[in-house]
Amino acid sequence: MHPFRTAVENRDEAAIEALLAEDVVFTSPIAFKPYPGKAVTAAILRAVMRVLEDFTYVREIADPGGRDHALVFTATVDGKRIQGCDFLHLDEDGLIDDFTVMVRPLSAAQALAAAMGAQFDRIALEASEASEAAGA
């Protein structure tokens, strides 16, 4: 089992963040442009943990080299069942440097977009504070 999966299943925010490379790029299923950087990616993942209910990984797929992983999940958002996949790529140090999420069906993706939109100000504040702390 990949350590990221274990961290998510344990809802261990510190462990999740520790697995992210500083230059990680997060590609959202609901935003047009990717989000670069550890601070914003960690803030987004914390928000996801707040809005998705009954989150469960149901399958894990890895390439033979161990640098690419697909973690299939199910969850509920605003009463809608969602199915998705986290695609992770690991850098030479074993840290996540590329994180892409895809979800279905459309109605659940729209519910996720609305729920995450309501978290946007908090995500921006957390990312800003983390960036400032890292620079200090």
What tens digit of pLDDT does each residue of 68-81 get?
A: 999 999 999 999 99
Residue 26 lies in a domain: yes
What tens digit of pLDDT does each residue of 94-135 get?
A: 999 999 999 999 999 999 999 998 988 888 888 888 888 877
Strands 20-27 and 96-104: parallel
Residue 132 lies in a domain: no
Distance (Å) of CA 74 to CA 29, 55, 56, 80, 112: 15, 6, 5, 11, 13
CA dist 123 and 19 (Å) reads: 19
The residue range of the domain holding 123 is 3-127
Q: Is the dihedral of CA 17, 71, 85, 11 positive or negative?
A: negative
pLDDT of residue 3: 93
Residue 136 lies in a domain: no
Is pLDDT of 86 > 60? Answer: yes
pTM: predicted TM-score of the whole model, two decimal places: 0.91
Residue 51 lies in a domain: yes
Residue 100 lies in a domain: yes
Residue 97 lies in a domain: yes
Output the domain CATH number for residue 7.
Answer: 3.10.450.50
Domains: count for the chain: 1
Residue 23 C-alpha from the chain's centroid: 15
Residue 72 lies in a domain: yes
What tens digit of pLDDT does each residue of 17-47 get?
A: 999 999 999 999 888 899 999 999 999 999 9
Residue 122 lies in a domain: yes
Strands (E) across 1-136 are located at 20-27, 35-36, 53-62, 68-77, 80-90, 96-104
